[in-house]
Amino acid sequence: MSIHTLLITPPFTQFNTAYPATAYIKGFLESKQVKATQMDLSIELFTAVFTKEFIHAIFKQADMLGNKDFPLVYQQKQQYINKVDSVMNYLRAQEVTAAYQIVHKDYLPHGHRRIKLDNDLTTEFGKLGILDKAKHIATLFVEELGDFINANVDEFFSFTRYAEQIARTASSFDTIDSYLQYETTLIEDEMLYLLDEKLQQHTYDLVCFTVPFPGNLFSALRCAQFIKKQYPGLKIAMGGGYCNTELRRLSDPRIFNFVDFISLDDGEGPLLKITEFLAGKIAEDLLERTYLLLNNKVVYANKIPNTIFHHKNLPAPSYAGLPTNKYLSFLDVMNPMHRMWSDGKWNKLTISRGCYWKQCSFCDVTLDYIGNYENTTATDLVNKIEKIISETGITGFHFVDEAAPPKMLRALANTLIEREVYITWWTNIRFEKTFTAELCSLLSKSGCIAVTGGLEVASDRLLAKMKKGVDIAQVARVTKAFSDENIMVHAYLMFGFPTETEQETIDSLEVVRQLFQHNCIQSAFWHQFACTSHSPVGKNPEEFQIKITGPKFDGFAENDLYHEDLKGAKHHLYSQGLNTALNNYLNYKGFDIPLQKYFDFKVPSTKQQSGLIKSYLKT
């Protein structure tokens, strides 16, 4: 018996490019002669919602419910209905004559987001070209409609996520289960209609949902619920980042009312075994890294040793069958690196598997996708790159590594240049001293345009406590080496790490100010430290002087932990000030404003030298 699988990315993920999980699995399964079809239900649903016909139905539903939040949108509803198709067409392919139409002050309605803009957009976005101005205005138009849908028709609706609020920190399945008993919303009805259309095209034996984030779980279960009712003979599997991270102690059997199998870690081996089981080739006890229900109890079937498929031996991901023409480019925020995540089409590919450093104390280093590091060859990578370009016609690549190894990046760059393969690429790195001026120059020649890396708390004491393996001086020199080659550098910034003092937070901000001022970094983003159950901090809270206060595990998900910092500052108070300062630096202004001015409460003066980064760059 041959098995036909349908691989689905449920709503919502990013809309400018395909999430790569189904492409990886499709490439692998087909190399094993298992037929696989893939569907990006996320982009299919989004582009179905933002049409003239559906937006008309949205306003009709809001009328019926008597909901009129965001009155500026409601008052101009006919304009939104009439213009939505032209806006979506522009976001798919930025055509210059359409751009002139969109930027005309009277063409699109001025809703609650648009009216915040100055007429020429210079305050927030500088002197943008006509294509970008139109893209930003078009993005605001779609976001205004999204706000209206969320407030008036479907409280779960959100860009790049759906019902995330009930899946995040869902230690119990109770809330999710209760919401699954409610009637479907207008958005969900459309999602299930699109799913049904796909299911009717072929006879499938197995439907697989990838659930990378909490904001994909509910829509995946809603689809599974529909399949169980309408196609009761069809088996359903679920895997992906959410399962790998949060469902490692799963014991609640209720989720198996919706799915038959839940796999952990890399999906290739478990899914191949599931197809063999469904084909009658193996028994249940030969399944690997897979939860299933036996006698109403959750059982983790994991035959040891596992069948291992090394990174270097895996085939190229296959993007065949994904609707390349439907993906959209958004321009919502001026942060240049955030723009790369939402603007432009990128093929996603991994250079290596896992993290070669795997020591950071805040990171989930105990999990397989980080702790199990594997490499491949530059020749293999470039072969995969050429195959993907032939399928997609796209020459932009986002290498989605935890941290791309410098040695592999050098080999990749040399091979791309030698074989005259011309691509544009960016990736995540550690700010290793190995990234010399010479290596950065080579990477630039091969097509590298940007790198992202974790500076975290810019404090040498805390960087050592985090086991980052870098210090501020090294970060300054490495980022400057990239910047000097016109490679954009984005720094991930953290505040609120255990024992971080008020003084260290202000001193970190001063370091960030100087890094921007000396053009070491061009982009950054602050996030508050989150304690997770799979990190060294979560596993050894006493060592980091914090107290875990919940949530109580109740058989379902486990990842984010509530904690009290017994020694540090009241970290949440600093969020707004840190981000206000950062927004200035991103716009190349505010460097002379005293740091205290960014906070609405008294903070200490920085103890960092005013010429700290300058001195590091000289040595």
For residue range 505-560, what is the model confidence (pLDDT) as tens digits?
Answer: 999 999 999 999 999 999 999 999 999 999 999 999 999 999 999 999 999 999 99
**Residue range(s) defining the domain that contains residue 451:** 331-618
Q: Can you tell me which residue has the tokens 């000396």?
A: 518
Mode of pairing for the β-strands spanning 206-210 and 4-9: parallel
Average pLDDT over residues 461-477: 96
Question: Residues 267, 336: one domain?
Answer: no
The total of other beta-carbon atoms located within 10 Å of residue 418's CB is 11
Question: Residues 139, 208: one domain?
Answer: no
| 40 DSSP β-pair partners | 9
Question: Residues 480, 609: one domain?
Answer: yes
Number of domains comprising the chain: 3
- The answer to whether the beta carbons of residues 497 and 528 sit under 8 Å apart is no
Q: How far is it, in rounded angstroms, from Cα 606 to Cα 508?
A: 9
- The answer to whether the beta carbons of residues 81 and 144 sit under 8 Å apart is no
Instruction: Retrieve residue 476's tokens.
Output: 């300054």
What 280-284 contacts at long range (C-beta under 8 Å, 24+ apart), as own/partner pairs, is 280/1
What is the pLDDT, as a whole number, of residue 443? 98
9: Cα separation from own chain's centroid: 13
C-alpha to C-alpha distances, 308 to 24, 200, 261, 268, 372, nearest whole angstrom: 16, 35, 20, 9, 12
Question: Residues 458, 359: one domain?
Answer: yes
Q: How far is it, in rounded angstroms, from Cα 62 to Cα 129?
A: 37
Question: Residues 147, 186: one domain?
Answer: no
Q: How wide is the angle at C-alpha 210 spanned by C-alphas 204 and 213, nearest 5°? A: 155
Helix (H, G, I), strand (E, B) or coil at 531: strand
The DSSP call for residue 112 is T
Q: How far is it, in rounded angstroms, from Cα 168 to Cα 215?
A: 8
| 38 DSSP β-pair partners | 7
For residue range 550-589, what is the model confidence (pLDDT) as tens digits?
Answer: 999 999 999 999 999 988 889 999 999 999 999 999 989 9
What is the pLDDT, as a whole number, of residue 118? 58
Q: Is residue 525 part of a domain?
A: yes
Backbone φ and ψ for 307, nearest 5 degrees, come out as: -75, 120
Q: How far is it, in rounded angstroms, from Cα 512 to Cα 136?
A: 28
Q: Is residue 54 part of a domain?
A: no
- The answer to whether the beta carbons of residues 65 and 153 sit under 8 Å apart is yes
Q: Is residue 523 part of a domain?
A: yes
The DSSP call for residue 321 is T
Q: Is residue 51 part of a domain?
A: no
What is the pLDDT, as a whole number, of residue 568? 84
Question: Residues 22, 103: one domain?
Answer: no
Q: How far is it, in rounded angstroms, from Cα 309 to Cα 311?
A: 7
What is the pLDDT, as a whole number, of residue 296? 95
- The answer to whether the beta carbons of residues 150 and 205 sit under 8 Å apart is no
The DSSP call for residue 311 is G
Question: Residues 378, 504: one domain?
Answer: yes
- Nearest CA-CA partner of 277 in 287, 290, 288, 269: 287
Backbone φ and ψ for 433, nearest 5 degrees, come out as: -65, -15
Indicate which CATH number applies to the domain containing 433. 3.80.30.20
> Which of 123, 152, 181 is the C-terminal boundary of a domain?
152
Q: Which amino acid does the sequence have at 116?
A: K
Average pLDDT over residues 410-426: 98
Question: Residues 25, 99: one domain?
Answer: no
- Residue 289's pLDDT band (cuts 50, 70, 90): very high
| 425 DSSP β-pair partners | 397, 448
Q: Is residue 534 part of a domain?
A: yes
Predicted TM-score (pTM) above 0.75:
yes
What is the pLDDT, as a whole number, of residue 378? 97
- The burial class, CB within 10 Å (0-12 / 13-18 / 19+), for 173 is buried
Average pLDDT over residues 481-503: 97
Average pLDDT over residues 131-150: 96
The DSSP call for residue 256 is G
- Nearest CA-CA partner of 367 in 249, 168, 535: 535
- Residue 437's pLDDT band (cuts 50, 70, 90): very high
- The answer to whether the beta carbons of residues 455 and 418 sit under 8 Å apart is no
Q: Is residue 382 predicted with pLDDT exceeding 90?
A: yes
Average pLDDT over residues 344-351: 94
Q: Is residue 473 part of a domain?
A: yes
Q: How far is it, in rounded angstroms, from Cα 494 to Cα 571?
A: 11
Q: Is residue 122 predicted with pLDDT exceeding 70?
A: no
Q: Is residue 535 part of a domain?
A: yes
Helix (H, G, I), strand (E, B) or coil at 147: helix
What is the pLDDT, as a whole number, of residue 428? 97
What is the pLDDT, as a whole number, of residue 124? 53
Q: How far is it, in rounded angstroms, from Cα 586 to Cα 521?
A: 9
Mode of pairing for the β-strands spanning 488-495 and 523-528: parallel
Which uninterrupted H or E stretch holds 79?
helix 77-92
Question: Residues 450, 308: one domain?
Answer: no
> What is the chain's Cα-based Rg?
25
517: Cα separation from own chain's centroid: 29
What is the pLDDT, as a whole number, of residue 126? 54
Q: How far is it, in rounded angstroms, from Cα 224 to Cα 262?
A: 12
Instruction: Retrieve residue 12's tokens.
Output: 């919502």
Prior bond to 551 cis, omega within 30? yes
> Which of 104, 126, 152 is the C-terminal boundary of a domain?
152
For residue range 57-74, what is the model confidence (pLDDT) as tens digits?
Answer: 999 999 999 999 999 999
C-alpha to C-alpha distances, 440 to 224, 450, 487, 549, nearest whole angstrom: 47, 11, 8, 45
Q: How far is it, in rounded angstroms, from Cα 208 to Cα 29?
A: 12
Instruction: Retrieve residue 292's tokens.
Output: 């299933």
- Residue 445's pLDDT band (cuts 50, 70, 90): very high
- Nearest CA-CA partner of 441 in 484, 488, 377: 484
- The answer to whether the beta carbons of residues 73 and 148 sit under 8 Å apart is yes
Instruction: Retrieve residue 478's tokens.
Output: 């490495």
Q: Is residue 241 predicted with pLDDT exceeding 60?
A: yes
Q: How wide is the angle at C-alpha 439 spanned by C-alphas 454 and 344, nearest 5°? A: 60
Buried (b) or exposed (e) across 394-411, using 16+ Cβ within 10 A?
bbbbbbebbbbbbebbbb
Question: Residues 351, 222: one domain?
Answer: no
DSSP notation for 200-217: TTS--SEEEEE--SHHHH
Q: Measure the N-to-C terminal CA separation of the chain; round to a whole number of Å.
A: 67
- Residue 125's pLDDT band (cuts 50, 70, 90): low
- The answer to whether the beta carbons of residues 187 and 45 sit under 8 Å apart is yes
For residue range 310-340, what is the model confidence (pLDDT) as tens digits?
Answer: 999 999 999 999 999 999 999 987 778 888 8
Average pLDDT over residues 85-109: 95
What is the pLDDT, as a whole number, of residue 494? 97
Question: Residues 99, 195: one domain?
Answer: no
Question: Residues 145, 185: one domain?
Answer: no
Q: Is residue 62 part of a domain?
A: no
Which uninterrupted H or E stretch holds 130?
helix 130-152
Q: What percent of the chain has pLDDT over 70?
A: 98
Helix (H, G, I), strand (E, B) or coil at 446: coil
Instruction: Retrieve residue 1's tokens.
Output: 């018996």
Indicate which CATH number applies to the domain containing 293. 3.40.50.2300
Q: How far is it, in rounded angstroms, from Cα 508 to Cα 298?
A: 47
> Which of 108, 128, 152 is the C-terminal boundary of a domain?
152
Average model confidence (pLDDT) across the chain: 95
- The answer to whether the beta carbons of residues 188 and 180 sit under 8 Å apart is no
